[in-house]
């Protein structure tokens, strides 16, 4: 299975294990709650997907790479205690609370979440002294004498032997007590995540064209050569930082993340073309409708004459511009919805209070709430960013009211409604802009290629982008529906032709 399928399966597992009866007890027998064991090559997103699951399911997450631990930190340190058995005092060895188990309780205290995931990475690469402890952990859900809290699902991850010489094989007894999911690299599943995470357009475009370059793991005369999903994501981050700081991107930089010569060289050449074509074609002007007709016609003719790589690079540039506009729309949408929500709270809060003093008290209360959520890890980055921006807008409104000496609540409410209308109008303007950009993109590509593999490539790129899918689903776009139906028809025709061919060959 791919990492997306594994994510869905773990989410389903959490729901099943956390189902409770009328008395608040877990329905699923604890003895049957098998840990999940993810086995797959390094760098395909096993760790990242745990963070996504915890955020989406609103549960706690404690993550450990077990190879960094000793037997003492995993099990706890021995101590001598006195106990009475059958009326006689005995000296007994006990163990202090395991650092890992203690971290689970720390997470519960900090976040207030009694359910979560304990993720142990590289579990089959532990030292010889720690190996028996790991077997006990998987079989009995405990370290030493201390059990994992019952609301926490254990997820462990490991690499197959071909990727790591220090791997230890688990015996049948252990494997019979876990749910093993074998994960394979899957570009399509990763691309959905990549669009969501806002990876660099050159990375997305390059991998859309050279799919075989997504994941490589081999040995040659120069040693180990590898390209991983983690490498592409980290490379994307550094490219975006270098571009903001206007630091030149070199081939050596690419090679520090993409450690396979042919792919690193190929991507560096592609990146240079991506940047050059971005300047040459003026995609922003094309999609905003500000390019002159003569200039646009020149672009059409150039694309028609272009080679394979340039054609698909232009499509990648169009997708990059659209994704940027979609990000702006989503940010405006979140801010407008949150502003409307907070204003509803504010109106109720102001009843019986003086306007400015009431707003100051409300904003202070919201600041405290936000701090509590941050400390308890109950808020994601996007929600945090949205709340901060909206509270800034409300503070600016308060300052405006003070400068205008407005103290009447009714007059203040009028100003609030005007502010909300302004934000709503900005959101509507962005909807129109994005819809027009998508339509112009289809019109331009239609002039260049018509219904062709290039058009199919563009349609599938939009389909893979969650932001584009949500936008079109909510706000419509006739051009997308027309061309996507053509793509589906072409696919059905090809499938039918292949089926007929198979029958004839028999």
CA distance 63 to 122: 11
Long-range Cβ contacts of 330-337 (<8 Å, 24+ apart): 330/467, 331/386, 332/423, 332/426, 332/427, 332/430, 333/427, 334/382, 334/386, 335/386, 335/389, 335/390, 335/393, 335/423, 336/420, 336/423, 336/424, 336/426, 336/427
Q: Which two tokens stand for residue 178?
A: 């876990």
Residue with tokens 């050596």, as numbered in its chain:
252
Task: Mention every residue, 6+ apart, whose C-beta is less than 8 A from residue 387.
Answer: 338, 366, 370, 379
DSSP string covering 338-394, please? Answer: HHHHHHHHHHHHTTTS-HHHHHHHHHHHHHHHHHHHHHTT-S-HHHHHHHHHHHHHH
Kindly state the tokens that stand for 52. Answer: 């996504």
pLDDT reported for residue 389: 94
Of the ranges 125-134, 139-148, 238-247, 363-372, which one carries the lowest mean pLDDT score?
Answer: 125-134
Asked if 438 contacts 479 with a C-beta cutoff of 8 angstroms, the reply is: yes
Given a cut of 60, whether residue 316 has pLDDT beyond it is yes
C-alpha 22: how far from chain center: 35
CA distances from 475 to 74, 86, 341, 434, 455 (A): 53, 76, 22, 10, 22
∠ Cα 222 226 232 (to 5°): 140
Amino acid 329: pLDDT? 95
Higher pLDDT, 73 or 57: 57
Q: Which of 107-111, 119-123, 359-363, 486-490 is predicted least confidently?
A: 486-490
What residues does 89 pair with on adjacent strands?
84
Instruction: Please compute the mean of the pLDDT values over residues 206-235 and round it to a whole number.
Output: 87
238: pLDDT strictly greater than 60: yes
pTM of the model: 0.76
Cβ-defined contacts of 401-405 (< 8 Å, 24+): 401/355, 401/356, 401/359, 402/356
In this structure, the strands spanning 223-227 and 216-220 are antiparallel
User: Which is it for the CA torsion 222, 217, 236, 159, positive or negative?
Assistant: negative
Q: Could you tell me the pLDDT band of residue 487, with boundaries at 50, 70 and 90?
A: low
pLDDT at 34: 86
Contact 83, 90 (CB under 8 A): yes
Q: Which residues pair with 92 in a beta bridge?
A: 81
- Indicate if the pLDDT at residue 151 is higher than 80: yes
Average of per-residue pLDDT across 310-316: 89
Q: How far apart are the first and last CA of the chain?
A: 31
Q: Is the pLDDT of residue 407 over 60?
A: yes
Residue that has been written with the tokens 């959490």 in this structure: 14
> 266: which DSSP letter?
H
For 121, the 3-state DSSP assignment is strand
Q: Does residue 501 have a pLDDT over 60?
A: no
Considering the chain, what is the average pLDDT of its residues?
85
CB neighbourhood size of 164 (10 A) = 15
């Amino acid at each position: 299975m791919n990492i997306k399928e594994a994510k869905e399966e773990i989410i389903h597992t959490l729901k099943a294990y956390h189902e409770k009866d009328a008395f608040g007890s877990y329905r699923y027998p604890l003895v049957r709650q098998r840990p999940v064991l993810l086995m797959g090559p390094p760098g395909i997103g096993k760790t990242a997907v745990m963070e996504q699951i915890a955020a989406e399911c609103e549960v706690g997450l404690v993550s450990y790479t077990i190879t960094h631990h000793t037997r003492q930190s995993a099990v706890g340190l021995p101590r001598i205690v006195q106990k009475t058995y059958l009326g006689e005092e005995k000296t007994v060895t006990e163990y202090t609370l395991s650092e890992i188990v203690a971290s689970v309780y720390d997470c519960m205290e900090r976040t207030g979440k009694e359910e979560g995931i304990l993720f142990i990475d590289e579990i089959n690469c532990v030292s010889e002294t720690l190996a028996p402890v790991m077997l006990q952990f998987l079989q009995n859900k405990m370290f030493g004498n201390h059990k994992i809290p019952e609301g926490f699902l254990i997820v462990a991850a490991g690499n197959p032997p071909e990727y790591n010489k220090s791997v230890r094989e688990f015996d049948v007894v252990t494997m019979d007590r876990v749910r093993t999911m074998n994960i394979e690299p899957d570009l399509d599943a990763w691309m959905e995540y990549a669009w969501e995470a806002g990876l660099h357009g050159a990375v997305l475009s390059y991998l859309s064209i050279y799919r075989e370059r997504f994941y490589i793991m081999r040995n040659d005369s120069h040693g180990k050569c590898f390209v991983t999903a983690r490498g592409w994501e980290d490379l994307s981050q550094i490219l975006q930082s270098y571009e903001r700081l206007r630091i030149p991107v070199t081939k050596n930089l690419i090679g520090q993340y993409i450690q396979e010569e042919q792919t690193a060289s190929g991507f560096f050449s592609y990146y240079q073309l991506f940047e050059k074509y971005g300047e040459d074609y003026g995609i922003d002007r094309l999609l905003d409708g500000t390019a002159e007709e003569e200039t646009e016609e020149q672009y059409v003719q150039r694309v028609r004459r272009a080679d394979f790589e340039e054609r698909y690079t232009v499509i990648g540039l169009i997708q990059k511009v659209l994704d940027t506009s979609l990000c702006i729309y989503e940010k405006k949408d979140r801010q407008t919805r949150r502003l409307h929500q907070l204003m509803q709270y504010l109106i109720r809060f102001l009843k019986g209070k003086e306007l400015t003093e009431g707003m100051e008290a409300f904003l202070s209360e919201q600041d405290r709430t936000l701090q509590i959520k941050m400390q308890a890890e109950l808020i994601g980055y996007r929600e945090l960013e949205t709340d901060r921006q909206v509270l800034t807008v409300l503070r600016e409104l308060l300052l405006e009211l003070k400068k205008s000496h407005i103290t009447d609540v009714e007059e203040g409410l009028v100003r609030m409604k005007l502010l909300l209308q302004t934000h709503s109008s900005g959101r509507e303007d962005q909807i129109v802009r994005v819809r027009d950009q998508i339509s112009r993109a289809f019109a331009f590509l239609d002039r260049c290629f018509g219904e062709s593999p290039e058009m199919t490539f563009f349609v599938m790129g939009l389909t893979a982008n969650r932001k584009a899918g949500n936008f079109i689903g909510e706000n419509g776009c006739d051009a997308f529906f027309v061309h996507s139906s053509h793509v589906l028809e072409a696919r059905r025709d090809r499938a039918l032709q292949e089926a007929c061919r198979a029958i004839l060959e028999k």
